[in-house]
């Protein structure tokens, strides 16, 4: 048996990056998966030779579209056990310079989009009974601050607070809720937002001096969705290569090592 046999999962942001890696991990682990994204071409790249994959083109900003995706999980696979809210966006700009439209887009996907995903999935998770899992993709910025990243940082801090509260609300039903917060993941989104020379700087200034891979982060989503993670809830698991261990007084200073 694999770790997620007989489990049914819904994954948002599944057309690329960490979301796609999570969907692939879940399929390899034996789960049936409803892969959700706005990008149908990216979803098509998930093509699975078996019958355990369904795709749904949906915007996490539109709860009715997410409810339809949950309906697919129920009608095709018989229910829903795991929801992984991975969809996210990032745009840069100072508080002074960022447009209201960019601010609202970031908060709308990274925070409200997770709210919508959880709210759409909860009835099906409750119907399934104890053992449900709610997972969200945070960021190392959920415990840090960043120049030019105020909207993104705010969205990820808010996300952690949301999932902590969901964890308390769901605990009496045997459903857990957790956040996986990566840093420096080598994805198309990172390379779109960050110039090449800064990408190398991110790698060089991480104690484990490289970027992480989407599959490395997806491994945490697999564990938290499985049978051995039933006593972990309300946690923000930071997977950052040691970034949060650094500070401005010790970074790069040989006397501090």
Residue carrying structure tokens 């409803």: 34
Q: Can you give the C-alpha Rg of the chain in angstroms?
A: 18
Q: How many residues does the chain have?
A: 257
Q: Alpha-carbon torsion 84, 89, 94, 100, what sign?
A: negative
d(CA 205, CA 201): 6
d(CA 215, CA 23): 10
Instruction: Locate 84 and state its tokens.
Output: 């992984």
Instruction: Locate 56 and state its tokens.
Output: 């749904």
Angle between helices 113-128 and 63-77 (to 10 degrees): 30
Does 152 participate in catalysis according to the annotation?
yes
The sheet with strand 32-37 has its strands ordered as 53-57, 32-37, 8-12, 82-85, 133-137, 176-182, 236-239
Active-site residue, from 152, 166, 180, 236: 152
DSSP code for 148: T
Element (H, E) at 53: strand 53-57
d(CA 15, CA 189): 12
Which residues are marked as active site?
Answer: 152
């Amino acid at each position: 048996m694999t770790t997620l046999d007989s489990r049914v999962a819904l994954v948002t942001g599944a057309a690329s990056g960490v979301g796609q890696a999570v969907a692939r991990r879940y399929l390899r682990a034996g789960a049936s998966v409803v892969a959700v994204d706005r990008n149908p071409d990216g979803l098509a790249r998930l093509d699975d030779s078996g019958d355990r994959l369904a795709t749904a083109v949906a915007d996490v900003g539109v709860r009715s579209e997410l409810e339809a995706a949950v309906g697919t999980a129920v009608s095709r696979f018989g229910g829903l056990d795991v929801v992984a809210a991975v969809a996210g966006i990032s745009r840069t700009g100072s508080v002074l310079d960022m447009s209201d439209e960019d601010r609202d887009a970031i908060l709308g996907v990274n925070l409200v989009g997770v709210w919508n995903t959880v709210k759409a999935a909860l009835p099906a998770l409750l119907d399934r009974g104890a053992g449900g899992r709610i997972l969200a993709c945070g960021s190392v910025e959920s415990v840090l601050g960043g120049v030019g990243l105020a909207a993104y940082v705010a969205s990820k801090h808010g996300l952690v607070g949301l999932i902590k509260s969901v964890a308390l609300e769901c605990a009496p039903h045997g459903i857990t809720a957790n956040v996986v917060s990566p840093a420096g993941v080598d994805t198309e989104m990172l390379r779109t937002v960050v110039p090449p020379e800064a990408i190398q700087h991110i790698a060089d200034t991480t104690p484990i001096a490289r970027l992480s891979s989407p599959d490395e982060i997806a491994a945490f989503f697999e564990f938290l969705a499985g049978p051995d993670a039933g006593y972990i809830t309300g946690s923000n698991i930071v997977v950052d290569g040691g970034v949060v261990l650094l500070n401005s007084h010790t970074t790069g200073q040989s006397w501090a090592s």
